[in-house]
Structure 1
Amino acid sequence: MVSYKEVQASNALINDVTAPRVAVFVGGTSGIGKFTIRALVATGASVRIYLVGRKSSEERMHAFIQELHAINPKAEVIWTEGEVALLAETKRICEAIKSKESRVDLLFLTAGYAPFGTRTETAEGLEIAQSLEYYSRMLFILHLLPLLSEAEAPRVVSVLGGGLERATIDLDDLDLKKPGNFGGVKAQMQYVAMNTTTLEKLANDNPNVTFIHSWPGSVNTGNVRRGSDPNSMWAWFVWLILEPLIGLLAFSDEESGQRHLFQSTSAAFGGRGVPWKGKLGINSLEKPADGLFLVNYKCDCTPNAKVMPLLREKALGKIWDHTQEVLRPYL
């Protein structure tokens, strides 16, 4: 475990030289994304942050942006409105960023929620949680890779469930459209495995970019009840039991933000970033090198050595081909 004091000491080294000068936060209007933005701004470094969120969050986020400016006048936070569950919107946002920036240092992806409700599709025919947690995230990465490649220590962080992959992914129904195939833990684990498998391919193809798939552990973001029927048994279970339990066991908002800022900046992962004198992290190939890092809530690397070889051998090709087919109209 990387102690909280070690995390804080590393983050204290973030300055105008070591900070991610241009960062894109997708899902930063609440939860871990918001906590991490606050932690980054509080370093006092000169940064420009694109904060991507839905129209319904705009008024609340303007107040947050004013708060951030008071904390650090050198930080520029740009509200970027868009419904990223729609891939056409994701493309539009990426094109807008590419028209303004020549580089991106950090792409931080947290949009999504636990798919424990009924299956609901976007206007583009994708299940909403899967679009948010997988397709939209991969589309952001693919669009912004040229700008990430121009940075000195570029990093992509996808917060979902790195290290929790299972080999039971349904390769015959990747989008879980068959009757009775969607929902609950199965859907979440499907999206986790798809994230990791594709992120590892992207990391192998782009060794100049550090990729992290983070499992944040217990953080009280409220997303566990999003998408569920408020009158369902599940919603009552969440309200009466699960959320109080999460609140009891969860990291504080501040510690979660600090730990994810560490993951976003420290040379502990891939050797690029804020100097790190501790033990280097091990990537998903079980090597102390660049690539994809599966990082848990303790900031430990968890390569999931039993499952990853099976995903590479049996799932990678099908997932990548299917992903290209879905994303092709939006690239």
Structure 2
Amino acid sequence: MVSYKEIQASNALINDATAPRVAVFVGGTSGIGKLTVRALAATGASVRIYLVGRKSSEERMHAFIQELHAINPKAEVIWTEGEVALLAETKRVCEAIKSKESRVDLLFLTAGYAPFGIRRETAEGLEITQSLEYYSRMLFVLHLLPLLGKAEAPKVVSVLAGGMEWATIDLDDLDLKKPGNFGVVNARKHYAAMNTTTLEKLANDNPNVTFIHSCPGWVNTGNVRRGLDPNSIMGWFVWLILEPLIGLFSFSDEESGQRHLFQSTNAAFGGRGVLWKGKPGINSLEKPADGLFLVNYKCDCTPNAKVISLLREKALGKIWDHTQEVLRPYL
């Protein structure tokens, strides 16, 4: 485990030269994304942050942006409205960023929530949590890769379930449309495996960009209730049992934000960024080099070697082909 003191010491070294000068936070209006935005601003470095969120969050985010400016007058925070569960909206947001920027140093992806409720589809025919936690995220990566490629130490961080992949996913029903296939366990297995396999392929195809699939552990963001009927059995279970457990065992907001800032900036992952004197991270290919890093809540790398090897052999091709088919109209 990387100790919190080591993380604080690393983050204290972030300055104008080492900070991600242009950062895009998708899902930064709440939870881990918001906590990491605050931690980045608090470094005092000169940064430009694109904060992407739904229109319903805009008023609340204006107050947050004012708070960030008070913390760090050198931080430029740009509110960017977009309903990113919709791939057409994701494309529009990406095009807007590409029209303004020549590079992106950090793409930080946290949009989504636990799929405890019933299966609900977007207007584009995709299950909403899968669109947020997989399709939209990969579309952001694919659109912004040219800008990431122009940065000195670019990173893509997808916060979901890195290192917790299962090999037993239904490759004939990746969108979980078959009766009885959608549920929190199946959805989590699919979304984790699809994130990891696709990010690994993108990492292999773009060796100058570091990719991280992060598992944040328990953080009391409140997102566990999103999408649930509060009067349902599951709603009562989450309120009475799960949320108190999360509150008991979770990291503090401050520590969660600092740990994810560390992942986003430290050379332990990919050999670039703030210098690291400790043991370097091992990527998903079990090499101390660039590529895809599966990083757990302790900021340790967990290659999950047996499962990843099986997914690489049996699932990657089908997942990539299916992903291309879904995303092609929006590229």
Give the aligned residue type for 2:227: G
Q: Could you tell me which residue of structure 2 aligns to residue 255 of structure 1?
A: 255
Task: Note the alpha carbon deviations across 1:241-283, whole angstroms, 9 max, x for none.
Answer: 1001100100000000000000000000010111111110000
Task: Note the alpha carbon deviations across 1:208-236, whole angstroms, 9 max, x for none.
Answer: 00000000000001111111222110100
Structure 1 SS opposite 2:49: strand
Task: Note the alpha carbon deviations across 1:163-213, whole angstroms, 9 max, x for none.
Answer: 000001110100000111101111111101000000000000000000000
For residues 112 and 192 of structure 1, what CA distance do their matches in structure 2 show?
13
Q: Could you tell me which residue of structure 2 aligns to residue 204 of structure 1?
A: 204
Residues 213-232 of structure 1 aligned to structure 2 (within 5 Å): 213-232=213-232
Q: Could you tell me which residue of structure 2 aligns to residue 235 of structure 1?
A: 235
Structure 1 SS opposite 2:263: helix
Q: Could you tell me which residue of structure 1 aligns to residue 187 of structure 2?
A: 187
Task: Note the alpha carbon deviations across 1:79-138, whole angstroms, 9 max, x for none.
Answer: 000100000000000000000000000000000011110000000000000000000000
Comparing 127-136 and 227-236, the one that deviates more: 227-236
Q: Could you tell me which residue of structure 1 aligns to residue 277 of structure 2?
A: 277
Q: Could you tell me which residue of structure 2 aligns to residue 314 of structure 1?
A: 314
Task: Note the alpha carbon deviations across 1:282-331, whole angstroms, 9 max, x for none.
Answer: 00000000000000000000000110010000000000000000000000
Residues 69-108 of structure 1 aligned to structure 2 (within 5 Å): 69-108=69-108
For residues 309 and 184 of structure 2, what CA distance do their matches in structure 1 show?
25
Structure 1 SS opposite 2:131: helix
Q: Could you tell me which residue of structure 2 aligns to residue 329 of structure 1?
A: 329
1:53 aligns with 2:71: no
Identity of aligned residues (%): 89
Q: Could you tell me which residue of structure 1 aligns to residue 68 of structure 2?
A: 68
Give the aligned residue type for 1:75: A
For residues 186 and 135 of structure 1, what CA distance do their matches in structure 2 show?
17
Q: Could you tell me which residue of structure 2 aligns to residue 177 of structure 1?
A: 177
TM-score (structure 1 length as normaliser): 1.00
- Unpaired runs of 5+ residues, structure 2, are none
Give the aligned residue type for 2:150: E
Q: Could you tell me which residue of structure 1 aligns to residue 149 of structure 2?
A: 149
Runs of 4+ in 1 over 4 A off after TM superposition: none
Q: Could you tell me which residue of structure 1 aligns to residue 268 of structure 2?
A: 268
Structure 2 SS opposite 1:156: strand
For residues 78 and 185 of structure 2, what CA distance do their matches in structure 1 show?
35
For residues 41 and 181 of structure 2, what CA distance do their matches in structure 1 show?
42
For residues 232 and 285 of structure 2, what CA distance do their matches in structure 1 show?
42
Give the aligned residue type for 1:139: L
For residues 231 and 131 of structure 1, what CA distance do their matches in structure 2 show?
26
For residues 212 and 82 of structure 1, what CA distance do their matches in structure 2 show?
24
Structure 2 SS opposite 1:186: helix
1:30 aligns with 2:38: no
For residues 98 and 184 of structure 1, what CA distance do their matches in structure 2 show?
35
Give the aligned residue type for 1:247: G
For residues 221 and 206 of structure 2, what CA distance do their matches in structure 1 show?
32
Q: Could you tell me which residue of structure 1 aligns to residue 40 of structure 2?
A: 40
Comparing 229-238 and 57-66, the one that deviates more: 229-238
Structure 2 SS opposite 1:293: strand
Task: Note the alpha carbon deviations across 1:128-167, whole angstroms, 9 max, x for none.
Answer: 0000000000000000000000000000000000000000
Aligned residues: CA RMSD:
0.4
- Unpaired runs of 5+ residues, structure 1, are none
Give the aligned residue type for 2:294: L
Equivalences, count? 331
For residues 298 and 309 of structure 2, what CA distance do their matches in structure 1 show?
24
